[in-house]
Structure 1
Amino acid sequence: MSIGALDAAAAYGRVLTSSAPKIGEAEGPGAASPAGGGFGGMIENFVTEAASSMRTAEAASAKQVAGKGDLIDVVTAIGAAETALDTVVAVRDRVVNAYSEIMRMQI
């Protein structure tokens, strides 16, 4: 499953609106900072979201195996978990690639 540009842009937009301070808000020692803040906070949110969706998919699968769940819910949960994991892996690959490029730069 590949991640399209619109999917990545939508995920980035969700993260920005959920954790970034609004324009005009004070950023300083007295200001309330978002969880983790900046790029590290964004990555933390991605990983937390991916882990949460995987737990949801696992719970839906367990319900289905026990005969108490709906197959459509299982497929939907697994699809969401797969998309979240693909997003985390794509971001990781981009970060590693950027780090490699920076390390190759001559001073």
Structure 2
Amino acid sequence: MIESITKTSALSGMNGLDSLSSSFSTKGLTAEGTTPGTATGETFMAALNNMAAQAAGDLKQAEQTSFDGLMGKANTREVVDAVMQAEQSLQTAIAFRDKIVNAYLDITKMQI
């Protein structure tokens, strides 16, 4: 019965993280438009891109480990650890999203 489980992604509907990480780009940035912080290290866009990619990777790893647990290839501890890591990454991504949305709403409420 376990062998008949098809390996369809439970997270296939959550392509938002993948599209979020691919939507960040550095087009339009020129040498004159850079700030001192961008010349010395990682940009904010790159940090968000890395965070989104890491969260998506954690979710995919947890899903794979869960399938392995169903098939008897992974023990319960490995499955729980992977799911807990994915949950933590997802909660972090949600917190960042909420902060960005709140900042955007605050900016739109400002009077010019």
The normalised TM-score by structure 1 is 0.65
Q: 1:8 — aligned with what?
A: none
1:73 to 59, 78, 89: 78
Aligned mates of 1:53, 1:74 — CA distance in 2: 12
How big is each residue's C-alpha offset from its partner over 1:19-76, in whole Å with a ceiling of 9 and x where there is no partner?
A: xxxxxxxx3xxxxx87xx4111111111100011111111111111111111000000
Q: 1:40 — aligned with what?
A: 45
Q: Following superposition of structure 1 onto structure 2, how do residues 25-64 of structure 1 map, counting pairs within 5 Å?
A: 27=39, 37-64=42-69
Gaps of 5+ in 2: 1-38
Aligned mates of 1:92, 1:63 — CA distance in 2: 31
Aligned mates of 2:78, 2:72 — CA distance in 1: 13
RMSD: 1.8
Q: 1:100 — aligned with what?
A: 105
Query: May I ask how many residue pairs the two structures share in their alignment?
Result: 75
The normalised TM-score by structure 2 is 0.62
Larger Rg: 2
Gaps of 5+ in 1: 1-26, 28-32
